[in-house]
Chain A
Amino acid sequence: MTARSIRGAAAATLAGALALTAAACSNPGGTAAGAGERKDSAVVGIAYEPETLSPLLGYGKDGNSKIFDGLLAFDAGMKLRPALAVELPRVSPDGLTYTYRLRKGVTFSDGHPFTAKDVVFTYQTVLDPKTNNPSRTELDALKSVEAVGDDTVVFRLKYPYAPFAERTVLAIAPQHIAAKQDVNSGPFTSKPIGTGPYVLTSWSKGEKLSFEANPRYWDGAPQVKKLTMAIIKDDDVRATRLRAGDLDGAILPPDLAAGFAKDTARKTYAAKTYDYRTVTLPTHHPVTGDIAVRRALDVAVDRQAMVDKLLEGAGKPAYGPVPTDSEWFAKGTERRHDLDAAQQILDEAGWKPGPDGVRVRNGVRAAFPLWYLSGDKLRQDHALAYASDAKKAGIEITTQSGTWEIIEPRMKTDAVLAGGGTPGDPDFDQYLLLKSTLGGDGFNNMAWYDNKTVDKALEDGRRTDDTVRRRAAYDIVQRELVKNPGYTFLTHIDHLYVVNDRWEGLSTQTEPHDHGLASGPWWNVETWKPKR
Chain B
Amino acid sequence: MSRRLPWGAMARMTGRRALFAVPVLLAVTVAVFAVAAASPFDPVTAYAGTAGLTASQENLDQLRDNLGVDRPLVTRWWEWLTSALHGELGDSSVMRRPVADVIAERIGWSALLAGAAFLLAVALGTGLGVLAGRRRGGLLDRAVSSAAYTLEAAPAFWLGLLAIWFFALKLGALPAGGLTDTADDTVTADQVAGHLVLPALVLGLSQLPWFLLYVRQGVGDALEEDPVRGARARGLRERTVLLGHALRSGMLPMLTLVGSRVPELITGALLVETVFSWPGIAAATVQAATSVDFPLLAALTVLATAAVLLGNLLSDLLYGLAEPRVGFDG
Contact B274 A35 (CB under 8 A): no
A140 to B56, CA, bound (A): 10
A244 to B190, CA, bound (A): 21
A93 to B91, CA, bound (A): 46
Which among B9-17, B147-155, B306-314 touches the partner chain? B147-155
A19 to B62, CA, bound (A): 53
Q: Known contacts being A130-B66, A135-B55, A240-B169, is A405 close to B40, with CB within 8 Å?
A: yes
Q: Known contacts being A134-B48, A231-B277, A241-B177, is A184 close to B172, with CB within 8 Å?
A: no
Which among B72-80, B192-200, B256-264 touches the partner chain? B192-200
Instruction: Give the chain A neighbours of B94 by CB distance below 8 A.
Output: 51
B205 interface contact, C-beta 8 A: yes
Contact B166 A241 (CB under 8 A): no
B327 interface contact, C-beta 8 A: no
A37 to B181, CA, bound (A): 12
A61 to B50, CA, bound (A): 12
A137 to B66, CA, bound (A): 16
B41 interface contact, C-beta 8 A: yes
Which among B18-26, B156-164, B246-254 touches the partner chain? B156-164
Contact A26 B194 (CB under 8 A): yes
Contact B105 A205 (CB under 8 A): yes
A7 interface contact, C-beta 8 A: yes
* 0/1 interface trace, chain B 76-109, chain A, CB 8 Å (1 if under): 0000000000000001101111100010011000
Contact A247 B182 (CB under 8 A): yes
Instruction: Give the chain A neighbours of B267 by CB distance below 8 A.
Output: none
Contact A137 B54 (CB under 8 A): yes
Secondary structure call for the B interface: helix
Instruction: Give the chain B neighbours of A30 by CB distance below 8 A.
Output: 173-174, 194, 197
A472 interface contact, C-beta 8 A: no
* 0/1 interface trace, chain A 122-161, chain B, CB 8 Å (1 if under): 0000000110101111101000000000000000000000
A231 to B276, CA, bound (A): 10
Contact B178 A32 (CB under 8 A): no
Instruction: Give the chain A neighbours of B318 by CB distance below 8 A.
Output: none
A304 to chain B, nearest CB (A): 27
Contact B150 A10 (CB under 8 A): yes
Q: Known contacts being A26-B196, A205-B106, A230-B178, is A189 close to B97, with CB within 8 Å?
A: yes
Instruction: Give the chain A neighbours of B322 by CB distance below 8 A.
Output: none
Segment 88-120 of A: residues with Cβ below 8 Å from B? none
Residue on B nearest A58 in the bound complex, by CB: B51
A67 interface contact, C-beta 8 A: no
* 0/1 interface trace, chain B 35-70, chain A, CB 8 Å (1 if under): 000001110010111111111111110110011000
Contact B161 A134 (CB under 8 A): no
B174 to chain A, nearest CB (A): 6
Instruction: Give the chain B neighbours of A432 by CB distance below 8 A.
Output: 54
B43 to chain A, nearest CB (A): 10
A281 to B59, CA, bound (A): 25
B201 interface contact, C-beta 8 A: yes
A207 interface contact, C-beta 8 A: yes
Q: Known contacts being A18-B124, A31-B173, A189-B97, is A444 close to B277, with CB within 8 Å?
A: no
Size class of the A contact interface (CB-based, 8 Å): 35 or more
Contact A31 B56 (CB under 8 A): no
Contact B172 A244 (CB under 8 A): yes
Contact A237 B164 (CB under 8 A): yes
Instruction: Give the chain B neighbours of A185 by CB distance below 8 A.
Output: 91-92, 96-98
B271 to chain A, nearest CB (A): 10
Contact B53 A240 (CB under 8 A): no
Contact B95 A205 (CB under 8 A): yes
Instruction: Give the chain A neighbours of B182 by CB distance below 8 A.
Output: 35, 43, 208, 228, 230, 241, 246-247
B296 to chain A, nearest CB (A): 12
For chain B, the count of residues having a C-beta within 8 Å of the partner chain is: 82
A244 to B193, CA, bound (A): 19
* Residue of B51, B179, B198 most packed against chain A (CB within 10 A): B51
A202 interface contact, C-beta 8 A: yes
Contact A244 B169 (CB under 8 A): yes
Residue on B nearest A230 in the bound complex, by CB: B182
Residue on B nearest A242 in the bound complex, by CB: B176
Contact A54 B96 (CB under 8 A): yes
Q: Known contacts being A207-B279, A405-B41, is A51 close to B59, with CB within 8 Å?
A: no
Q: Known contacts being A26-B196, A404-B45, is A208 close to B60, with CB within 8 Å?
A: no
Contact A18 B165 (CB under 8 A): no
Instruction: Give the chain A neighbours of B165 by CB distance below 8 A.
Output: 240
B320 interface contact, C-beta 8 A: no
Contact B96 A57 (CB under 8 A): yes
Contact B174 A135 (CB under 8 A): no
B168 interface contact, C-beta 8 A: yes
Identify A442's interface contact among B55, B96, B174, B184, CB under 8 A: B55
Identify B45's interface contact among A182, A202, A208, A405, CB under 8 A: A405
Q: Known contacts being A35-B182, A246-B175, A403-B40, is A134 close to B146, with CB within 8 Å?
A: no
Instruction: Give the chain B neighbours of A38 by CB distance below 8 A.
Output: 183
Contact B183 A420 (CB under 8 A): no
Residue on A nearest B62 in the bound complex, by CB: A129
Contact A19 B96 (CB under 8 A): no
A222 to B79, CA, bound (A): 49
Instruction: Give the chain B neighbours of A52 by CB distance below 8 A.
Output: 96
Contact A246 B277 (CB under 8 A): no
A187 to B284, CA, bound (A): 18
Segment 24-74 of A: residues with Cβ below 8 Å from B? 26-27, 30-33, 35-38, 41, 43, 51-52, 54, 57-58, 61
* 0/1 interface trace, chain B 98-133, chain A, CB 8 Å (1 if under): 100010011000000000000010001000000000
Instruction: Give the chain B neighbours of A441 by CB distance below 8 A.
Output: 56-57
A125 to chain B, nearest CB (A): 13
Residue on B nearest A227 in the bound complex, by CB: B183
A403 to B291, CA, bound (A): 12
Instruction: Give the chain B neighbours of A11 by CB distance below 8 A.
Output: 147, 150-151, 154, 159, 162, 205
A185 to B98, CA, bound (A): 6
Contact B172 A228 (CB under 8 A): no
Q: Known contacts being A10-B147, A134-B48, is A33 close to B183, with CB within 8 Å?
A: yes
Question: Could you list some 9 contacts between A and B, CB below 8 A?
Answer: A11-B151, A16-B166, A19-B167, A32-B181, A33-B175, A134-B60, A234-B274, A241-B176, A246-B175
Interface residues of B (CB under 8 A from A): 40-42, 45, 47-60, 62-63, 66-67, 91-92, 94-98, 102, 105-106, 120, 124, 146-147, 150-151, 153-154, 159, 161-169, 172-179, 181-185, 190, 193-194, 196-198, 200-202, 205, 273-275, 277-280, 283-284
A15-B201, A206-B283, A442-B59 given; 11 more Cβ-contact pairs under 8 Å: A11-B162, A23-B173, A33-B184, A205-B95, A230-B182, A234-B275, A236-B161, A240-B165, A247-B182, A405-B41, A420-B54
The 5 closest A-B pairs by CB, nearest first: A134-B48, A210-B185, A134-B51, A207-B279, A32-B175
